[in-house]
Structures are given as structure tokens and as C-alpha cells.
């Protein structure tokens, strides 16, 4: 099976590429170029082995898919984050909505299946503070990012012949984890930095899942042919965020209590609990990495890494005088 992954240089994409070997999947990937037309460069398209640049258009995607004999597309590329999208509304809409439409129209013409990497921000989360969110729970995004992702899901379902939506909840760990509470806390403590800002309430519940388990869920669904479904994927081991920080200290031996500055604010500070019962029942998938083991793995990885800094975005926002509390 030849699978094309969009956004393979990001956190989820990088780990999907790594985990694909375990499923005997041939990965074809493209590298997004930094230009106004959201083009990408592929290493695999010329006889001379030279990179070939494609524009973000239906015909360009179709040509790329045909040349590389793609069977399935994992559409993972997106401008992510409430603040990033709000500050770059036009660019993010081009990528998250128009880009998705272009890929889908090309895939439809060639009868290629599309597995879309969704997000739980499409749900009306405040309605479900005391219960797990299920696939049929009410939609109701509270941010532009959530609206874009919900729109992209509708495009997927209406424009391709074979589709699935996979929605993870709080993936962490692995290469490129730049956003999780776990990575930021460990990095701050290891380097004895000033407390890191967390736009979270320490008494609210979150459910973190190791990225390896998430990637395995995606490939399990694709190989099993579990199409035409929305799939929620979660570890289902919820804890209060304050408890997670304490657990990090217990497992790593780091002094973490004074390394987090809690900044609870709006929708994103509430409880987030997801039911993956339907996915587990239909596919047989179960997460294999407990939170305790995942934290230990993250600690070992971050301690050995060079040039890794999950606080880069926070530092950049501070340098540009951007008040991130407006977006969380």
C-alpha cells in the first residue's frame, strides 16, 4: 500500500512516517515550500531524481497522485492552534479549507481514499464537562480554527469516494512534541527555567495519549478498511492537569511544582474527555503506552535532545508582544 502523508514534517506527520514501517506501508511524502502559493516539493517525481514543485491546485495534486501511484492519502497538513489561526486568518483558511478541497477533488478523480486528521475542537465541548464526548456529540466549535476543521470534515465527506475522520485527544511524546503540557513542563524543569505559562486550569481534566498509540490507531483503521466513519481516538485515562504535573515530578524526580504558571481562561480550560469505545470495538485497537511510561519516555528523549525547545512559540509571542491569553 502506497500512502501519501501531507504535513509529514510536523509533530503528528513525523511520527506517522516513523510508525508506518511497523505496518509495512510505503510512505510517499511531500515537503511544503515556503511561498505564497502553498506549493510543495516532492523528491519522488522526476526520472533524474530532482525535486519537483507543485502548486496547491487540483490538477497539480492529481498529477502528483498519478505519478506516485497513491492508494491512500493521510491528510494531516494544517495551520494549527487557536492563536496561530486567528492571527493568520486568510493564510490558514487557504491551507485548512481550500487546500483540503483541492486534495479531495484530485483524490475523487482517481478514486483514492482520504484519511483526515481531525480534532476535537469541532465539538461543543462546554456541553460535555461531566461526560465523554462521542462521535455523535453536538458540533459547535468556539474558534476559527475549530470552524475551519469542521468545514474541512464536511468537504472530505462530500467530495471523496472513500473517507474516514480520525480525531485524537491530546497527543504527546515522540519527535517534535512542541505543544503538550508534558513536554513543556519537563523541558522547563530540566533546564531550570522560569515557570512556563500554561493556558489551563490545574483542576480541570485532560486525557493525554502517546503519539505512538495515535499513529498506530490511524494505520490500524486504514489497513482494516474502516472507511466512511468518524473515529474518536483517546487513551481514556483522564487526570486533572495539576495531577499530571505532579506525576511528572514523581516519575522523573524533577522539581516541577514551581515550574508551571497556570493561566486558566476560556473554553480551553474546561474538562476534555473523549470516548473511543466505537473505535476500539470496531478495530480491536487499544493504547499500549500508559501515561506513566509515556512520561518516562518523554523525559529520556528530551534529556538527550539537542536543539529541541518546545517553548519557542511562547518565546516568539512574548518577543512580538502578543497576548496569548486572548486566544485560550
Query: For residue range 248-301, what is the model confidence (pLDDT) as tens digits?
Result: 999 999 999 899 999 876 545 588 899 999 999 999 999 999 999 999 999 998
Query: For residue range 180-224, what is the model confidence (pLDDT) as tens digits?
Result: 999 999 999 999 999 998 888 899 999 999 999 999 999 999 999
Q: How confident is the model at residue 59 (pLDDT cuts 50, 70, 90)?
A: confident
Q: What is the pLDDT of residue 128?
A: 92
SS3 annotation, the chain? CEEEEECCCCHHHHHHHHHHHHHCCEEEEEEECCCCCCCEEECCCCCCCCCEEECCCHHHHHHHHHHCCCCEEEECCCCCCHHHHHHCHHHHHHHHHHHHHHHHHHHHHHCCEEEEECCHHHECHHHHCCCCECCCCCECCCCHHHHHHHHHHHHHHHHCCCEEEEEECCEECCCCCCCCHHHHHHHHHHCCCCCEEECCCCCCEECCEEHHHHHHHHHHHHHCCCCCCEEEECCCCCEEHHHHHHHHHHHHCCCCCCCEEECCCCHHHCCCCECCHHHHHHHCCCCCCCHHHHHHHHHHHHHHCCCCCCCHHHHHHHHCCCCHHHHC
CB half-sphere exposure, 122, CA atoms < 13 A:
22
| Average pLDDT across the chain, whole number | 85
For residue 62, pLDDT beyond 80: yes
Q: How confident is the model at residue 143 (pLDDT cuts 50, 70, 90)?
A: confident
Q: How confident is the model at residue 124 (pLDDT cuts 50, 70, 90)?
A: very high
pLDDT (average), residues 232-255: 96
Q: What is the pLDDT of residue 85?
A: 76
Q: Which domains does the chain have, with CATH numbers?
A: 2-327 (3.40.50.720)
**What is the reported pTM?**
0.88
Q: What is the pLDDT of residue 120?
A: 92
For residue 170, pLDDT beyond 80: yes
Q: In terms of pLDDT, which residue wins out, 88 or 218?
A: 218
For residue 246, pLDDT beyond 80: yes
Q: How far is CA 236 from CA 168, 171, 270, 283, in A?
A: 11, 12, 16, 16
Q: What is the pLDDT of residue 87?
A: 77
Amino acid at each position: 500500500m502506497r500512502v501519501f502523508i501531507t504535513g509529514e514534517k510536523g509533530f503528528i506527520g513525523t511520527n506517522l512516517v516513523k510508525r508506518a514501517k511497523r505496518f509495512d506501508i510505503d510512505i510517499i511524502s511531500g515537503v511544503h515550500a515556503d511561498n505564497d502559493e502553498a506549493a510543495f516539493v516532492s523528491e519522488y517525481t522526476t526520472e533524474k531524481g530532482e525535486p519537483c514543485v507543485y502548486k496547491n491546485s487540483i490538477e497539480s495534486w492529481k498529477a502528483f497522485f498519478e505519478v506516485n501511484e497513491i492508494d491512500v492519502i493521510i491528510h494531516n497538513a494544517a495551520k494549527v492552534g487557536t492563536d496561530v489561526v486567528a492571527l493568520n486568518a486568510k493564510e490558514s483558511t487557504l491551507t485548512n479549507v481550500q487546500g483540503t478541497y483541492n486534495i479531495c477533488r484530485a483524490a475523487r478523480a482517481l478514486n483514492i481514499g482520504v484519511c483526515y486528521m481531525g480534532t476535537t475542537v469541532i465539538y461543543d465541548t462546554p456541553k460535555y464537562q461531566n461526560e465523554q464526548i462521542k462521535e455523535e456529540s453536538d458540533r459547535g466549535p468556539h474558534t476559527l480554527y475549530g470552524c475551519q476543521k469542521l468545514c474541512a470534515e464536511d468537504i472530505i465527506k462530500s467530495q471523496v469516494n472513500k473517507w474516514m475522520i480520525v480525531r485524537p485527544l491530546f497527543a504527546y511524546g515522540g519527535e517534535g512534541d512542541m505543544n503538550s503540557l508534558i513536554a513543556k513542563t519537563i523541558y522547563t524543569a530540566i533546564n531550570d527555567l522560569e515557570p512556563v505559562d500554561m493556558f489551563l486550569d490545574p483542576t480541570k481534566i485532560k486525557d493525554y495519549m502517546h503519539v505512538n498509540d495515535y499513529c498506530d490507531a490511524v494505520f490500524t483503521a486504514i489497513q482494516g478498511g474502516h472507511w466512511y466513519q468518524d473515529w474518536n481516538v483517546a487513551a481514556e485515562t483522564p487526570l486533572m492537569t495539576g495531577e499530571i504535573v505532579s506525576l511528572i515530578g514523581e516519575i522523573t524526580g524533577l522539581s516541577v511544582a514551581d515550574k508551571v504558571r497556570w493561566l486558566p481562561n476560556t473554553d480551553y480550560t474546561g474538562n476534555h474527555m473523549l470516548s473511543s469505545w466505537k473505535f476500539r470495538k470496531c478495530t480491536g485497537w487499544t493504547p499500549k503506552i500508559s501515561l506513566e511510561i509515556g512520561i518516562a519516555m518523554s523525559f529520556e528523549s528530551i534529556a538527550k535532545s539537542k536543539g529541541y525547545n518546545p517553548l519557542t512559540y511562547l518565546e516568539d509571542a512574548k518577543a512580538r508582544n502578543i497576548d496569548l491569553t486572548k486566544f485560550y
